[in-house]
Chains A and B, each alone.
Chain A
Amino acid sequence: MTYWDREKECINREHLQDLQLRRLKETVYRVYAFVPAYKEKFDQAGIKPDDINKLEDVHKLPFTTKADLRNNYPFNLFAIPMSDVVRIHSSSGTTGKPTVVGYSRKDLDTWSELMARALTSAGADRYSVIQNSYGYGLFTGGLGVHYGAEKLGASVIPSSGGNTKRQVMLMQDFGTTVLTCTPSYALFMAEVMGEMGITPQDLKLKAGIFGAEPWSEDMRAKIEEALQIQAFDIYGLSEIIGPGVAIECKYKNGLHIAEDHFLAEIIDPVTEEVLPYGTPGELVITTLTKEALPMIRYRTRDLTTLTMEPCACGRTHVRMQKVLGRSDDMVIIRGVNVFPSMVESVLLKIKGVSPYYLLVVDRKGNLDFLEVHVEVSEEIFSDEIRKLEELGALITKELESALGISVKVRLVEPKSIERSEGKAKRVIDKRKI
């Protein structure tokens, strides 16, 4: 087994917890002293930094949410002076004010270190040619992976997102061995490759590290088959640091969270009660080493399960299961929680269906209904209406039994659902509530 930093990744749990507690206390002192918004929250909750004496005391601290970042837009949650901030990233702000995150020199070093760890865990090394097709710019995906790959010593192709035919050409001509992008973009690349008449045998691609959106095991199988690679899930969010917060190892059975830098908890997203290992809920992360933007109990909105079962890879860091969905991606239809990933799993099991779909939720009168647009693949289309209707009926039946609500399936033309070069849009909610 190859590690980037064996000592830290396979650390004895007791030593890890000592380290975490020391770093947690330090972080809490720092935010209390330097970030007025945190001091105010702590004071309201009646918590003083001195109250944190063991790791479980983290449960006493108030949560931080995306709203706190917006309310303190742009820099008011920073814990260091702007003269020490060397990088700023931001969300696209499609749902309101963007969220802004900052990095000190040391934060960037930590991030590169974590990304180098992640890339190593997925089998990359200094001989790898890494094509980084995450978008470069304000989005943390591009630059985050870039610096980690350079730290690793790999040869980096900073191709960013978009211009898919050129991406495929670079992949072939430069002998890319590792691809990094969103899973939906990877699948789109495979489709474009097919159109260009290029097969996986024409490439040297061995592995892909995909993240920035939830994706199912069936999607993994599809990508691995289409590109003939090993596909690894990477997790991260800009509020915490960006990609590299957690990564799968070669056993692909959960993502190891870099616990020397992050303290993870699972809570019930409604009651906010802390849940034990093994129970699904919302992931909450406290940063332990971040200087510019420390986060105390940040609510990620990502739903997962934590497990402390030892992993065969030897890493001792806790594993989070593949993210099932985001609580804000989740649509509630007539009281039932529906995640795009559930729909994806069903569709990928049906022959002749492409993995492109769109959930459209609308309300007629007082009744919510779900329409699922599914692309018909070229192979399944024949002259016979009957066959298409049977396919529609089969998809409807499978979706209804998986989701537990009635669904209207609409077959749409191949390639009519928008292909994403970044995060895929899977849900349109037309309800005016």
Chain B
Amino acid sequence: MAKQISVFLENKAGRLSNVTRVLGNAQINIRALSIADTSDFGILRIIVSDPVKAYKILKEAGFTVSETQVIAVRVPDSPGGLADVLEQMAEENINIEYLYAFLGTTENDALVIFKVEDAEKAEMVFKKKDIKFIDENQLYTL
């Protein structure tokens, strides 16, 4: 399992640039990101090089931040690779809340960040089905 940082963003010019600048100034690298948006606000979800520090400095800078457990799954970087993984998860009734792609890759695999309803159950299923996922310390430094 890995730590994702979520930041509440009001739909206002400059909010996203503020967050990224705060992280940049603290020498924190963004490894993956996605934005969920509604008409009034958005939630920025990021995987960073140092989630503990990122949480702390964003909070100090006055942002509303939360921490979420996600899983970084290795998906074969070839046609049908993601579909295979998703089908196996569906068979085991693993409910996916959202997912997004990681910027870097490992060997021949792409990395996809999954937020599932029950992360522990998902990890067990992954182990059983031999779906590879990445250890969090390894993930932050990729």
Q: Which residues of A contact B (CB under 8 A)?
A: 376, 378, 381-385, 388-389, 392, 410-416
Alpha-carbon distance A378/B62, docked complex (angstroms): 11
| Cβ contacts A to B, 24 pairs, < 8 Å | A381-B8, A381-B66, A382-B6, A382-B66, A382-B68, A383-B45, A383-B66, A383-B68, A383-B115, A384-B97, A385-B43, A388-B41, A388-B43, A392-B40, A410-B40, A411-B40, A411-B41, A412-B10, A412-B41, A413-B8, A413-B9, A413-B10, A413-B64, A414-B64
Alpha-carbon distance A383/B65, docked complex (angstroms): 9
Q: Is the CB of A415 within 8 A of B40?
A: no
Alpha-carbon distance A385/B6, docked complex (angstroms): 11
Interface string of B82-115 (1 = CB under 8 A from A): 0000000000000001000000000000000001
Q: Which residues of A contact B63 (CB under 8 A)?
A: 413
Alpha-carbon distance A424/B68, docked complex (angstroms): 36
Alpha-carbon distance A410/B10, docked complex (angstroms): 9
Q: Which residues of B contact A392 (CB under 8 A)?
A: 40
Alpha-carbon distance A389/B39, docked complex (angstroms): 11
Interface string of B32-47 (1 = CB under 8 A from A): 0000101011010100
Q: Is B49 an interface residue (CB 8 A)?
A: no
Q: Is the CB of B4 within 8 A of A383?
A: yes
Top 8 nearest A-B pairs (CB, nearest first) are: A383-B6, A383-B68, A381-B64, A413-B10, A410-B40, A381-B8, A385-B36, A414-B64
Q: Is the CB of B66 within 8 A of A416?
A: no
Alpha-carbon distance A378/B64, docked complex (angstroms): 6
Q: Which residues of B contact A (CB under 8 A)?
A: 4, 6, 8-10, 36, 38, 40-41, 43, 45, 62-64, 66, 68, 97, 115
Residue from A383, A385, A392 with most neighbouring chain B CB atoms (10 Å): A383
Given contacts A383-B45, A389-B38, A410-B40, contact A376 B62 (CB under 8 A): no
Alpha-carbon distance A411/B8, docked complex (angstroms): 10
For the A-B complex with A411-B40, A412-B10, A413-B9 known, give 13 more contacts whose Cβ atoms are closer than 8 Å. Answer: A376-B8, A381-B64, A382-B6, A382-B66, A383-B4, A383-B6, A383-B66, A385-B38, A388-B43, A410-B40, A413-B10, A414-B64, A415-B62
Residue from A382, A385, A410, A411 with most neighbouring chain B CB atoms (10 Å): A385
Alpha-carbon distance A281/B119, docked complex (angstroms): 59
Alpha-carbon distance A415/B133, docked complex (angstroms): 39
B interface majority secondary structure: strand
Q: Which residues of A contact B38 (CB under 8 A)?
A: 385, 388-389
Smallest Cβ-Cβ distance to A375: which chain B residue = B64
Smallest Cβ-Cβ distance to B8: which chain A residue = A381
Total A-B pairs in contact (CB under 8 Å)?
38
Distance between A3 CB and nearest chain B CB, rounded to angstroms: 48
Distance between A78 CB and nearest chain B CB, rounded to angstroms: 49
Q: Which residues of A contact B66 (CB under 8 A)?
A: 381-383
Q: Which residues of B contact A381 (CB under 8 A)?
A: 8, 64, 66
Q: Which residues of A contact B4 (CB under 8 A)?
A: 383
Smallest Cβ-Cβ distance to A389: which chain B residue = B38
Smallest Cβ-Cβ distance to A371: which chain B residue = B40
Alpha-carbon distance A385/B8, docked complex (angstroms): 10
Q: Is the CB of A416 within 8 A of B41?
A: no
Alpha-carbon distance A382/B65, docked complex (angstroms): 8
Alpha-carbon distance A392/B115, docked complex (angstroms): 23
Alpha-carbon distance A389/B62, docked complex (angstroms): 22
Alpha-carbon distance A389/B66, docked complex (angstroms): 17
Q: Which residues of B contact A382 (CB under 8 A)?
A: 6, 66, 68
Residue from B6, B36, B38, B40 with most neighbouring chain A CB atoms (10 Å): B40
Alpha-carbon distance A383/B46, docked complex (angstroms): 11
Alpha-carbon distance A378/B6, docked complex (angstroms): 12
Distance between A330 CB and nearest chain B CB, rounded to angstroms: 26
Alpha-carbon distance A14/B43, docked complex (angstroms): 67
Distance between B7 CB and nearest chain A CB, rounded to angstroms: 9
Given contacts A382-B66, A383-B68, A410-B40, contact A416 B115 (CB under 8 A): no
Smallest Cβ-Cβ distance to B6: which chain A residue = A383
Distance between A52 CB and nearest chain B CB, rounded to angstroms: 58
Distance between B1 CB and nearest chain A CB, rounded to angstroms: 14
Alpha-carbon distance A38/B115, docked complex (angstroms): 74
Given contacts A376-B64, A413-B8, contact A383 B43 (CB under 8 A): yes
Q: Which residues of A contact B40 (CB under 8 A)?
A: 392, 410-411
Residue from B10, B64, B66, B68 with most neighbouring chain A CB atoms (10 Å): B64
Q: Which residues of B contact A385 (CB under 8 A)?
A: 36, 38, 43
Alpha-carbon distance A415/B97, docked complex (angstroms): 29
Distance between B3 CB and nearest chain A CB, rounded to angstroms: 11
Distance between A91 CB and nearest chain B CB, rounded to angstroms: 33
Q: Which residues of A contact B41 (CB under 8 A)?
A: 388, 411-412
Smallest Cβ-Cβ distance to A385: which chain B residue = B36
Alpha-carbon distance A383/B113, docked complex (angstroms): 14
